[in-house]
Each structure stands twice: as structure tokens, then as C-alpha cells.
Structure 1
Amino acid sequence: METKIYEASLTGDIQALNALLQQDQLILDRLSLTGFNETPLHIAAMRGHHHFATVLLTQNPKLAIALDSQRRTPLHLASANGSLEMVQELVRAGGQDACCFRDQDGLTPLHLAARNEHLEVVKALVQANSDAAKEISETGETVLHMCVSYNCMESLKVLMELWNEDELAKITDHGGNTLLHAAVINKQTQILNYLLSIPSIKANGNAVNRLGSTALDVLDQCPRDLKSLEAREILMESGVMRANDLRPLPKPSHSLMKPSQNNRKGFLSRTWARYVNDDHHWIEKQRGILIVAALVVAGMSFYSGINPPGGTITDTQNGRYSLGNAVQTEVDMDQFDQFVMYNSFTMISSLGIIVVLISGLPLRNKFWMWVLMLGTMFTMVCMVATYLRSLSMMAPDGYVDGASVWICLIWMLGCGVIALIHTVFFVVWVVMKLSKCRMPETNIKGNEDVGEV
């Protein structure tokens, strides 16, 4: 008989339902003992059989708060389908507490109605229980954050009327993300424009989340595409800044030293502080570009190695073709050996840079930054040396214009000076680190000597 009532709920057959109730008045009370995943009211709510549901609720109002296998009430299903009359009937039977029931995903009927933009149902649920709109889901977001995530603009507008402007600007999820953060994370540019048209939200646009990031900082961490570029332009036009730009600048310290000495010391101090404190975060962001540049250099070196200046000579041996020999080997083997050596250094050092970049090593670590910098300088020096040797091989009698030679030599010298400066800074930094590590041991020994005395 229980099977027949489920069959009646599928078609909304009220006559069949009444006939079953006349045969057994307790049939609805025994539904909890059956093995079905849903009650007949769940099925009627999904199918939109309003009159059928009314009869069921008249006989057994407790069905309004019955749960299915996914902990959904009939109100969940009716709200998701946008059945306004069904929702109103279920709210009358189940009371305002029915609006706050959560399914296994932590969603209330209002969440489902808002996500599907059933605006009349949203208004009915809010009117029945306005506190349901301020419930926070198990994922830590409010219903407003969910509307932003799913790009439900109309539902967002309806629900935002429950808060005043000052409250809207300060609403956050468990991560401290405002509605502006949520719009940026999901790159909802239309909603972003709408939120920034509200004065209080725009005035609070530089609010930071629990990680200390503004909406613009969050956008910088997202993959770059056309949507992110559009969102960045919208934020910057509205005056949204990065968290680092919001920090007050340190007050300039006054010194009694002479101006020339003060300027000289300030320049050295700033240079040293920049080396010690700079986190090199920019190179982490440009890792992909550096990999491409190193691949291009390695590819050029590979091509130059198998296609040397002057080309190759293809010869036959015993009637078979052999690989071509470089023309330069027939002229001056020493110059060709130097060309191959410089070109090989360029290719291997470029590949070494690629290995460092793709290995996932933290580039903000000063050791790997130093290694990467030395490898880059060495690669550029080898490229210039290969270029000079190629010119010498192609020029008559090995003559190369003096200006070209001097320009290349100055460039190589500049690379060496830069590498030397960074090496000196790195060595000094290492020495200071080691001395700081030994200081606690020295202090402990000193304290022990004092105690003995």
C-alpha cells in the first residue's frame, strides 16, 4: 500500500490518495518505517503538485520537516524548483524554522532559491524568516557571498535590501573576505561594478581579509586573463589599492652628520637593506617569462651548434653520404673549437637556469637567487663571446671592427662587475647570518662564567 501512495504522488492523483487514506488512516504515519529515500511530500514538491501536497499536510503536518537521504526537506526541493505556492504551503505547515534547515551540503532552502534566481520564492522565504538570510553556510560564506560566486545578480539585489549600506560594506565570510573580495576571486565584473556603485562598499574597498590582502592583492594571485585585466581596471579606477601601498611610510630620521656623509651613508644603507630585506617576490611572478627566455637562448645555441658559421660540407664515403663537416674545420680548427666551447657553455648554462626555475625551488631564498644571477651573467658573457668568435670566423683574415670588440668587452666586463657585487653582498650576508647563530652560544658561556664568579 505504501508503494501505491508513492505512485499517486508521482502523478498528483488526489483521488487515489483519498482512497488510500480511507483504507488505512495511519498510512502516512507509517512512512518513517519504510525504506524509501523520500516521503510522498518530497516527490510532490519536486513535481509541483500543490493540491496533492495540501492534502498530505492536512493529514500529517510533520511531513513538512521530514528529511530525505540527503537531509533535504520538501521545502528545499520546492525552493530549488521555484514552486511559489508549494513553498508558501510548506512554510505555513512547517513554520519559520523550516527555512533554516540545512541539507548535507549546509545549504538552506533560501540558498537554493537564490542560486537558481527564483526571486519570488526568495522574497517569500525572507518574508517568512529574515534571519535565514543571515545564516552562514558550512563553507563559511553568507548567502550574499554565494550569490556573488554563482553570478546571481538579481538574487543579490533582493537579498541586499535586508542590510543597510554600512553593514553591507563589512559583511565577511570565515576568511575575512568581503563581497568585493568574493567578486574579484570569481572575476564577476558585472557584480563588481554594481558593488562599487554602492558608496559604503566603495569607501571600504581597501578592506583586508585575514591574510592581510585587499581585493587588488587577491586579484594579483589569480591567473591572468581578460576577465582579470578588466577587474583590475575597475578596481584601480575606484581607488582600490594594494595592502603594501596602504602602509604609512617610515618617518625620515634626522642626523647631526654632515649632508655629504649623511647622503653617502643613506645610499649604502638603503642598498644593503634592499638586499637583506627584499623578498624577490617579483621573480616568482616572472618565473614563466624567465623560463621562456632561457629556452629561447638554449634553442639559439643548439641551432648555432648544428649550423655553424659558414655552413657544412657534405661528403661521400664508399658511395654513401656522411654527415657534413663544418667549413671552418678546413680553415682554422682552433677557432672552431673555441666557437663550439663558448656555444656549449651558453646552451648548458641556459638549461641550468631552466632547471632551477622549474624545480620549484623558492626563488626568494638568497642562495638560489645568487645562483640564478651568476648563471644568467655567465650565459650572457658566453653569448657575447660566441658572437665575437662567429664574427672572427666569418671576417676576412679574422679581422673584426674595433668598436664592435670594445662594445662586447665592456658588456662582458659589466656582467662580471654585477656578478662580483652580488657575490660580495651574498658572502657578507652569509657571514652575518653565521655570526648571529653563534651569538647565543657566546652569551650562554658568558652567563655561566658570571655565575661561577
Structure 2
Amino acid sequence: MDEDMIQSAQTGDINLLYELILNDPYVFQRIDDVPFFNTQLHVAASAGHIEFMVEMVKLKPTFARKLNQAGFSTMHLALQNDRTQAVVRLLRFDEGLVRVKGTEDLTPLHHVVQTGNVDPLIKLLAVCPEAIEDVTVRDETVFHLAVKNDMFEAFQVLVGWLPRSCHESADRWEEELLSWVDIGGNTVLHIAAIRNRPRVYANFPNQVNY
């Protein structure tokens, strides 16, 4: 991406964006042909330039799911940089962005669980509850990640959300995901025992067979 393109995204200059398109109508197509690329949409989402980001999504929707060279999507970057409004607008465009897998198969939902940021966690679950099924390259569920990263509040939110969810798969999720075994053969309760986290036991649903 040339300097003018970078500048347009970093500054949120929509006029400059269209000047560049006028000079080179195929500029986005060439970028889209590259498997991994830090597009203008990635840059704008990281910087929180909402209007520019929305304009880019309209012009090139495929950029929203594209991974950059570090294995991050636009949603990953918006969350990493605490760009709440960017996250909201991206969700309005495509709720499925919550399930885009980046490096090590980490999704945006996995990211907010690892950081313990409860507000976006609740938002992401509300718009895309199916994302709770996604596991990492190490077969870790969101529950594994919450306990491994000592994010107890996030763990409470996740466990509390399951019985309140109206999704048709909620009962299955509660049974399967809380007894899920990661690549090391550990359930969530195994991880809690290894890390000596008794609060996890106190908040664990009694009906789950583990």
C-alpha cells in the first residue's frame, strides 16, 4: 500500500481516498488478490476513523474478513485498540465477523475473553451467540481462555449467560463446552485445579457432568 493510501486511512480522509481511486480504479482489487494484507480498512479500524471505515466497507466488503500479515482482522484490531464505535459499526455490517479466526484460530470473542473486557464480551455474545462454540488451535473454549488468563469476571459472565440464552443450542452448549477437553486433555475444572482457582468451582453449574 503506497504512502497516499496509508495517509488516507490514518487520517480518515475520504476525499483523498476517492482521488486515489480516480487515479487507479483497480487499486483495491490488487490488494484483495494478496492473501494477507493490512488494508486501509484495518488501518482505519485501528485508528477509529468511523466514517472512513464505513466508506471502505461499502467499497470493498471483502476487506472486513481479510487477515493482515499478523493474522488479525479489522474486528480484532478495533477491539485491540478499544475502538468501541468501530466494533459496533462492523457488527452492524456483518455479525459473523465475531467468528473470523485469526492467528492460532483466535476469534474476536476469544480476544475479549482473554483481556477480560466484559462490555464488548456481552455485545458480541448478543449479536452472534454461536461464536461461543469456536475453539482455538489448542482446542480451547472461551471458558478455558477465561480461566487460563485469570479473567474471573469474564468467566462469570459466560457461565451466567448460558442458562439465560434463548438460543436453541444453549442447553447443549452448557453440557458440552463446560466439559470440553483441550489439546492437553484438560477441562475447565482441570485448569482451575492446576492454577488453584477455587472461585471457578464455586461458580460452576452443578448440573454439568464433568
Q: Corresponding residue for 1:357? A: none
Match of 1:140 in 2: 139
Partner Cα distance (1:116, 1:79) in 2: 10
Equivalences for residues 131-170 of structure 1 within 5 A: 131-164=130-163, 167=175, 170=178
After TM superposition, list the pairs within 5 Å mapping 1:199-210 onto structure 2: 200=206, 207=210
Q: Partners of 1:197 and 1:162 in 2: how far apart?
A: 12
Distance apart, 1:151 and its partner CA: 0.8
What is the distance in 1 between the residues matched to 2:179 and 2:137? 16
Instruction: Flag the 1:199–1:45 CA change in 2: closer, same or farther, 3 A.
Output: closer
Q: 1:2 touches 1:27 (CA, 8 Å); kept in 2?
A: no
Write out aligned runs for 1:34-433 (5 A): 37-93=37-93, 95-164=94-163, 167=175, 170-174=178-182, 175-187=184-196, 189=197, 192-198=198-204, 200=206, 207=210
Q: Cα 1:22–1:135, aligned 2, differ >3 Å: closer, same or farther?
A: same
> How far off its partner does 1:197 sit?
4.3
Query: Aligned residue for 2:32?
Result: 32
Structure 2 residue aligned with 1:417: none
Counterpart CA distance in 2 for 1:199 and 1:140 is: 21
Q: Is the 1:117–1:154 Cα contact (8 Å) retained in structure 2?
A: yes
Read off the aligned partner of 1:184 and give its amino acid letter. Answer: A
Q: Following TM superposition, by how much is the alpha carbon of 1:36 offset from its aligned partner in structure 2, in angstroms?
A: 8.3
2:62 & 2:132 partners in 1: Cα distance? Answer: 24
Unaligned runs of 5+ in 1: 208-453
1:327 is aligned to: none
How far residue 57 of structure 1 moved from its aligned partner, in angstroms, is: 1.0
Seen in structure 2, the aligned counterparts of structure 1 residues 69 and 198 have a Cα distance that, compared at 3 Å, is closer
CA contact 1:96–1:128 (8 Å) conserved in 2: yes
Contact map agreement 1:99 1:125 (CA 8 A) in 2: yes
In structure 1, the partner of 2:166 is none
Q: C-alpha deviations, 1:255-299, integer Å up to 9, x for none? A: xxxxxxxxxxxxxxxxxxxxxxxxxxxxxxxxxxxxxxxxxxxxx
> For the structure 1 residues 147 and 36, does the alpha-carbon distance in structure 2 shift closer, same or farther, using more than 3 Å as the test?
closer
CA contact 1:82–1:113 (8 Å) conserved in 2: no
1:181-228 deviation line (CA, Å, top 9, x unaligned): 1112223x3xx2253244617x86xx5xxxxxxxxxxxxxxxxxxxxx
Tell me, yes or no, if the aligned pair for 2:100 and 2:107 is still in contact at 8 Å.
yes
Q: Give the aligned partner of residue 4 of structure 2.
A: 4
Alpha-carbon distance, 1:136 to partner: 1.7
Q: Choose 1 or 2 for highest CA Rg.
A: 1
CA distance in 1, matches of 2:136, 2:34: 31
Residue 138 of structure 1 aligns to a residue whose secondary structure is coil
Which runs of structure 1 show a deviation greater than 4 angstroms over 4 or more consecutive aligned residues? 33-36
Q: TM-score, normalised by structure 2?
A: 0.80
More helix by share: 1
1:161 is paired with a residue whose SS is helix
Residue number in structure 1 paired with 2:14: 14
Q: Are the structure 2 counterparts of residues 121 and 77 from structure 1 closer, same or farther at C-alpha, using a change threshold of 3 Å?
A: same
Question: How far 1:144 moved relative to its partner?
Answer: 0.9
Structure 2 counterpart of 1:193, one-letter code: R
Change (3 A) 1:34 1:103: closer
**CA apart distance, 1:61:** 1.4
Q: How many residues align?
A: 200
Closer/same/farther in 2, CA of residues 170 and 58 from structure 1, 3 Å limit: closer
Please tell me the root mean square deviation across aligned C-alpha atoms, in Å: 2.9
C-alpha spacing 1:195/1:15, structure 2 compared with 1 (3 Å): farther
CA distance in 2, matches of 1:144, 1:87: 22
SS at match of 1:139: coil
